[in-house]
Amino acid sequence: MSLEPLTAFRPDPQPQSLDRSKTSYDVAIVGGGIVGLTLACALKDSGLQVAVIEAKPQSAAVARGQAYHINLLSSRIFQGIGVWQAMQTGVNPIDQIRLSDADYPGVVQFERRDLQTEVLGYVAEHRVVLEALQDALRQCANVTYLCPAELVQTSYQADGVELELVRSGETQHVRSRLLVAADGARSPIRQQAGIRTHGWQYWQSCVVAFVQPEKSHNNVAYERFWSSGPFAILPLPNNLCRIVWTAPKAEAEAIAQLGDAEFLDLLQPRFGNQMGTLSLVGDRSVFPVQLMHSSRYTQARLALIGDSAHCCHPVGGQGVNLGIRDAAALAQVLQTADAAGEDIGAVRVLRRYDRWRKLENLVILGFTDVLDRVFSNHWLPLVVSRRLGLWALRTVQPLKVLALRLMVGLLGRVPQMARR
Secondary structure of 49-75 as H, E, C letters: CEEEECCCCHHHHHCCCCEEEECHHHH
CB 296 within 8 A of CB 354: yes
146 belongs to a structural domain: yes
Residue 361 belongs to domain spanning: 25-64+128-198+291-377+413-419
359 belongs to a structural domain: yes
pLDDT attached to residue 78: 98
Q: Quick check: pTM over 0.95?
A: no
373 belongs to a structural domain: yes
295 belongs to a structural domain: yes
Strands 220-226 and 96-101: parallel
Residue 265 in this model has a pLDDT that exceeds 90: yes
- What backbone torsions phi and psi does residue 361 show, to the nearest 5 degrees? -65, -40
Give how many domains the chain has, as a whole number: 1
Over residues 395-417, the mean pLDDT reads 95
pLDDT attached to residue 162: 96
Above pLDDT 70, what percent of the chain?
93
Beta partners for residue 285, in sequence order: 208
- Is the backbone peptide bond immediately before 15 cis, with ω within 30 degrees of 0? no
pLDDT attached to residue 61: 60
Average predicted confidence (pLDDT) for the chain: 91
147, amino acid identity: C
CA 217, 222, 227, 228 torsion-angle sign? positive
Q: What is the CATH number of the domain that holds 149?
A: 3.50.50.60
pLDDT attached to residue 60: 65
Residue 19 in this model has a pLDDT that exceeds 60: no
- Strand ordering across the sheet containing 121-125: 67-70, 121-125, 91-94
pLDDT attached to residue 64: 62
Work out the angle at residue 324's Cα, subtended by the Cα atoms of residues 321 and 325, and round it to the nearest 5 degrees.
85
Work out the angle at residue 165's Cα, subtended by the Cα atoms of residues 164 and 169, and round it to the nearest 5 degrees.
125
pLDDT digits (tens, 9 = 90+) for 333-369: 999 999 999 999 999 999 999 999 999 999 999 999 9
CB 105 within 8 A of CB 94: no
CA 300, 305, 307, 313 torsion-angle sign? positive
pLDDT digits (tens, 9 = 90+) for 141-177: 999 999 899 999 999 999 999 999 998 888 999 999 9
4 belongs to a structural domain: no
Residue 1 in this model has a pLDDT that exceeds 90: no
CB atoms within 10 A of CB 288: 11
CA 371, 373, 377, 383 torsion-angle sign? negative
26, amino acid identity: D
The string of DSSP codes covering 199-260 is EEEEEEEEEEEEEEESS--TTEEEEEEETTEEEEEEE-GGG-EEEEEEEEHHHHHHHHHS-H
Angle between helices 347-375 and 319-339 (to 10 degrees): 170
* Cα separation, 409 vs 71, whole angstroms: 6
Residue 229: which of 251, 255, 247, 243 has the closest Cα?
247
182 belongs to a structural domain: yes
Q: What is the torsion angle, in degrees rounded to the nearest 10, for the CA atoms of residue 74, residue 75, residue 79 and residue 85?
A: 140
* Cα separation, 315 vs 299, whole angstroms: 31
- In this structure, of 61-75, 237-251, 297-311, the range with the lowest mean pLDDT score is 61-75
286 belongs to a structural domain: no
189 belongs to a structural domain: yes
**N-term to C-term CA, the chain:** 42
